[in-house]
Amino acid sequence: MKNWLLWLIVGIVLILGGIFALMNPFAASVAAEQIAGWCFVFGGIGQLVAALRADGWGSKILGVLLGIAYVWLGVTLLGNPLVGIITLTMMVAIMFMVNGVLKIVMAFGARGSGYFWVALLSGVLSVALGVMVFGNFLQSSAVLLGVLLAIELISSGVTMVAFALAARKLPPEERGLHA
């Protein structure tokens, strides 16, 4: 692995970004919502370009409609950040609950295995998170996306730091460096 030091620096920056996001989760929620909005805008533009290059009218029409929907969603998120935060928080809560129910069903399908209790506990926790978000929805909306962003940044940062430190221990020829 070349440039282990660069990976280390990126990991540290991500960890610091996660800590800052935890210090102000509302600002981080707004930032996450705005990033999602821009991703939908750029993704929609990309979809429109791809649709116009597609073969056949059916593919073009479907692609253009999908591209317009993405751009519209992105512009809506960018124009109404607080509504966007509420909408995205609702989607996260629904995702937690659906994911939890699916894990519980999967756990009962693996009854008798060592995996059963882990999957069941994970599913119950996911459902509980969804219930907690819905049970305190307005307060959750203000900070949930920011806290999730912070957790992701810290987790990715720790992973990159560990990766960099492992790569540093490799001999130069395995890192892609030439002596």
Local mean pLDDT, 10-residue blocks, the chain (179 residues) = 82 94 94 94 96 88 94 95 91 92 92 86 91 87 89 90 85 56
Q: What is the pLDDT of residue 67?
A: 95
Q: What is the pLDDT of residue 179?
A: 41
Q: Which domain holds residue 164?
A: 4-168
Domain assignment of residue 114, yes or no:
yes
Q: What is the pLDDT of residue 27?
A: 94
Domain assignment of residue 178, yes or no:
no
Domain assignment of residue 9, yes or no:
yes
Q: What is the pLDDT of residue 104?
A: 94
Domain assignment of residue 175, yes or no:
no
Query: Which phi and psi angles does 31 have, rounded to 5°?
Result: -60, -45
- Residue type at position 34: Q
Q: What is the pLDDT of residue 163?
A: 86
Domain assignment of residue 176, yes or no:
no
Q: What is the pLDDT of residue 99?
A: 92
Rounded CA-CA distance 146/22 in Å is 7
Domain count, the chain: 1
Rounded CA-CA distance 42/71 in Å is 7
Domain assignment of residue 179, yes or no:
no
Rounded CA-CA distance 127/115 in Å is 18
Domain assignment of residue 173, yes or no:
no
Q: What is the pLDDT of residue 172?
A: 65
Query: Which phi and psi angles does 159 have, rounded to 5°?
Result: -60, -45
Domain assignment of residue 18, yes or no:
yes
Rounded CA-CA distance 72/89 in Å is 19
